[in-house]
Chains A and B, each alone.
Chain A
Amino acid sequence: VTALPAPPSGRAGRRLAATLWRHPRLQLSALLAGPIGWLVIAYLGSLAVLFVAAFWHLDEFSGLVVKDYSLTNFQTLLEGHVYREIVLRTALIAAAVTVTDAVLAFPIAFTMAKLSSARTRGLLVVAVLMPLWASYLVKVYAWRVILQEDGILNWALGPLGLHGPGFGNVATWLVFSYLWLPYMILPIYAGLERIPNSLLDASGDLGGRPGVTFRRVVAPMAFPAVVAGSIFTFSLTLGDYIAPQLVSSTQFIGNVVYTNVGVANNLPLAAAFATVPVVIMIGYLLVARRLGAFDSL
């Protein structure tokens, strides 16, 4: 006989408990009502409102929102080549950041997972997580100081006759690569740790040189983890608009959305443009699922 919790006193309480016990599905629904309700109303609800607002438009004279449905905004976005350029630029920089972070993160994660003693591993984990304790803004402003005309980078490169990149696309790429690196290291580290050491030994015993072991054992098994990390680096870069504003005058998708909400008061156009990253991310996540990224999250 398993020990059941003492039934609640009172007839109504007892009946409720009995009903719940007899209907496990009801029990589950009651348990999940809160979180799912929050997800639907606050999260999916706001996405739905965003999508609906994308079909509204502004009245030319008063600047007020007209809640009629039309495709005006999407037409504006498709016809203006500047919007295509901005989408392309945002996606390309996000991709560049992702590749950079993957290349930088892999050796660090491998060292942490396979080569370090428990003590060193602990220190490395702290070192990776430490930047996350500092405010995002502080880190971006620090990069301003590094990259500015009389900054550290130009001071260091000066004697070599070189000059830093200044504020522009290169600066955004550098800053984002720095900001999101921990989000790439941690999933790869988790993925590598799951590869049993015996497999590496077996590969070696069978005559596999380190290169072959890496290519045929480590890489295929760690790949889903890299894709999982890339979801973070890619989506975080895709959605950011503060860093581009601070270290360049480059426009990201987010900057255009921000301008249209804050400056122009053109909420419908902002909503229409905001659907672009949503669509890009849905595509990205579908591919990531194919590649098994969700199994290693």
Chain B
Amino acid sequence: VITMRWGVAVVATAALALAAGCGSDSSSSGGSGGGVKAPEGPKAPTKLGANEGQVNLVAWAGYVEDGSTDPKVDWVSDFEKQTGCQVNVKIGNTSDEMVTLMRTGKYDAVSASGDATLRLIAGGDVAPVNTDLVPNYADVFPGLKDKPFNSVDGQMYGIPHGRGANLLMWRTDKVKGNPDSWSAVFDQASANKGKVTAYDNPIYIADAALYLKATKPELKIDNPYELDETQFKAAVDLLKAQRQNIGEYWSDYTKEQAAFSSGDSVVGTTWQVIANLLEADKVPVKTTLPKEGATGWSDTWMVSSKAQHPNCAYAWLNHIISPKANAEVAEWFGEAPANQKSCALTAVKDHCKIFHADDEAYFDKVAFWTTPRKDCGDSRGAKCMDYSQWVQAWTEIKG
């Protein structure tokens, strides 16, 4: 018995010592303030040097394909041969994971969505990009340049990759009429009780805010990502009401594809690529950009402020938006390419038409994902709900 006690004491002491060791190295937090200010440190290069032989990327699945997923899908091998830059890729599953990976300083470039870009800029994790060193930037659609989610004070912090909108999709055989409004998933959702779906992510709160912007003008919502307490509460209440009609949420595209083909979901938000896959399987679905507009994503390739292979990173930036590579990645992922010349090179001839690549009027109705911050960005000041509050609200909505 005595040895037993002794053993327990040793174990407990060791555990405490370990814990204390962890607690003692308290690091100071780099408070960067609510507004996005370009940090002092990182500068854009003025000229490029010799390639370093390799480049480490953080990317969405499907953005960096070297033929290992599908032998026909490969826009990396040629790049490696031409530049001598060996490409190492780490797949980021969420915007938040990408931010965490970039903060390690081990990666040279990242394909960040608008809900990650501002966090990376504010944290000083990425450097401004000298677009003169990326020749293909000249062919990028003007509608993608100098946007609030990829630039600060006219200085670009990355190279646009491509964009898409979150659309309303429905089963034509199960849903009556042709919905043209998000009311199909909000105020009228009970018509399809238990068969409504929604995107399982806090950023979906913006979809509710966008709908309220059109239907409840008294809330004075301007930007669905800049919500003060009253506006935020209205959006959350709308989503809690919607919850009663949700069959299941979807977070990865295969889950929504399965739910729509089996009929477990008949109406809800979607990406164009999912609708294409369903149509290929002969599932009767239709999509629309509802009259209230929509949320969407616009991705940006950014270069780390601690990049160890900046020259190869710039070579990659130029390659991924080159007409051919950008056409290939846009088709593989199912989005609008960033390069105007890509439209002539897609395998499916009217790809750019299907994804509205050159339709600025279409994208004017799209509110691209961006990180909700405390600072509203207008006269209201620091009164808005930040992302961590969005996350907690999302847990509450799902219940």
Cα of A264 to Cα of B15 in the assembled complex, Å: 28
Cα of A167 to Cα of B264 in the assembled complex, Å: 9
Q: In the complex, identify which listed stretch (B218-226, B245-253, B270-278, B319-327) lies at the interface while the others stay far away.
A: B245-253
Q: With A61-B32, A166-B247, A264-B391 in contact, do A52 and B263 touch (Cβ < 8 Å)?
A: no
B27 interfacial contact with A, CB 8 Å:
yes
Q: In the complex, identify which listed stretch (A43-51, A203-211, A280-288) lies at the interface while the others stay far away.
A: A43-51
**Which one of B16, B200, B374, B388 lies within 8 Å of A48 (CB-CB)?**
B16
| Cβ A248 vs Cβ B30 within 8 A | no
A265 interfacial contact with B, CB 8 Å:
yes
A197 to chain B, nearest CB (A): 37
**Number of interface residues, chain B, beta carbon within 8 A:** 54
B99 interfacial contact with A, CB 8 Å:
yes
Cα of A66 to Cα of B33 in the assembled complex, Å: 15
Q: In the complex, identify which listed stretch (B90-98, B227-235, B286-294) lies at the interface while the others stay far away.
A: B90-98
Interface membership of chain B positions 29-51, coded 1 if the CB is closer than 8 angstroms to chain A and 0 otherwise:
11111100000000000000000
| Cβ A149 vs Cβ B395 within 8 A | no
CB neighbours of A256 from chain B (8 A): 395
A219 interfacial contact with B, CB 8 Å:
no
B188 interfacial contact with A, CB 8 Å:
no
A263 interfacial contact with B, CB 8 Å:
yes
Q: In the complex, identify which listed stretch (B17-25, B67-75, B128-136, B303-311) lies at the interface while the others stay far away.
A: B17-25
Q: With A49-B18, A52-B22, A68-B26 in contact, do A259 and B391 touch (Cβ < 8 Å)?
A: yes
Task: Bin the interface of chain A by size.
Answer: 35 or more
| Cβ A150 vs Cβ B96 within 8 A | no
Most B Cβ at <10 Å: residue of A60, A86, A166: A60
| Cβ B399 vs Cβ A85 within 8 A | yes
CB neighbours of B25 from chain A (8 A): 67
A142 interfacial contact with B, CB 8 Å:
no
CB neighbours of A259 from chain B (8 A): 391, 394-395
B148 interfacial contact with A, CB 8 Å:
no
Q: With A61-B374, A166-B264 in contact, do A260 and B399 touch (Cβ < 8 Å)?
A: no
Q: With A80-B396, A251-B399 in contact, do A36 and B11 touch (Cβ < 8 Å)?
A: yes
| Cβ B264 vs Cβ A61 within 8 A | no
B31 to chain A, nearest CB (A): 5
| Cβ B391 vs Cβ A266 within 8 A | yes
The A157-181 residues at the B interface (CB cut-off 8 A) are 166-167
- B248 nearest in chain A by CB position: A249
CB neighbours of A167 from chain B (8 A): 247-248, 264
Q: With A40-B15, A251-B398, A264-B391 in contact, do A63 and B262 touch (Cβ < 8 Å)?
A: no
| Cβ A82 vs Cβ B395 within 8 A | yes
CB neighbours of A67 from chain B (8 A): 23, 25-27
B77 to chain A, nearest CB (A): 31
CB neighbours of B391 from chain A (8 A): 259-260, 263-264, 266
Cα of A53 to Cα of B392 in the assembled complex, Å: 19
**Which one of B33, B122, B259, B392 lies within 8 Å of A80 (CB-CB)?**
B392
CB neighbours of B88 from chain A (8 A): none
| Cβ A66 vs Cβ B29 within 8 A | yes
A70 interfacial contact with B, CB 8 Å:
no
| Cβ A62 vs Cβ B122 within 8 A | yes
B284 interfacial contact with A, CB 8 Å:
no
Cα of A45 to Cα of B22 in the assembled complex, Å: 10
Could you jot down 10 A-B contacts, CB within 8 Å? A36-B11, A41-B14, A44-B15, A45-B19, A61-B386, A62-B122, A67-B27, A76-B392, A149-B262, A166-B194
Q: Which 8 A-B pairs have the closest CB atoms?
A: A264-B391, A48-B19, A67-B26, A149-B263, A148-B262, A59-B29, A44-B15, A48-B15
Beyond the given A148-B263, A262-B97, could you list 16 further A-B residue pairs with CB under 8 A, ordered by the A residue number? A36-B7, A47-B15, A48-B22, A49-B22, A53-B22, A61-B374, A62-B122, A68-B26, A69-B23, A80-B392, A149-B262, A149-B263, A249-B249, A251-B399, A259-B391, A266-B391
Residues of A within 8 A of B (CB): 25, 36, 39-41, 44-45, 47-49, 51-53, 58-69, 76, 80, 82-83, 85-86, 144, 148-151, 166-167, 246, 248-249, 251, 256, 259-260, 262-266
